Amino acid sequence: MSNTIETIQEQINNNPILLYMKGTPRMPQCGFSAQTVQALMACGERFAFVNILENPDIRAELPKFANWPTFPQLWVNGELVGGCDIVVEMAQNGELQTLITEAAAATKDAE
């Protein structure tokens, strides 16, 4: 297993809410990342992110690891939730708020 895959696995395991995106939450570098960040921020919980533009190894390996070809990718509690379309749809129907709130609450309980 490559170091990059180990890094990805660690990031996913250590961050209950993790977004792989282009850019940063304050400066998204693509429209899909921007929409996903907006949906996540509306949930009101902190989340980790990885700027794949600054991490070309992760950008190359994550689609194979996740079996998901595009970015952004939202991971919650070690599970791939999906990309922009799925996250936005979940935000619109209220599922995202529930998922993010529960993940954040579980993290706070564990601390």
Q: Residues near 66 by Cβ (< 8 Å), separated by ≥ 6?
A: 73, 80
Q: Which two tokens stand for residue 33?
A: 């990342």
59 annotated among ligand-binding-site residues: yes
Beta bridge partners of 28: 23
Q: Residues near 7 by Cβ (< 8 Å), separated by ≥ 6?
A: 57, 58
C-alpha 62/C-alpha 66 separation (Å) is 6
49 annotated among ligand-binding-site residues: no
22 annotated among ligand-binding-site residues: yes
57 annotated among ligand-binding-site residues: no
C-alpha 81/C-alpha 74 separation (Å) is 5
Q: Which residues are annotated as a binding site?
A: 22, 30, 59, 71, 84-85
Binding site listing for [2Fe-2S] cluster: 30
Q: Residues at the annotated binding site for glutathione?
A: 22, 59, 71, 84-85
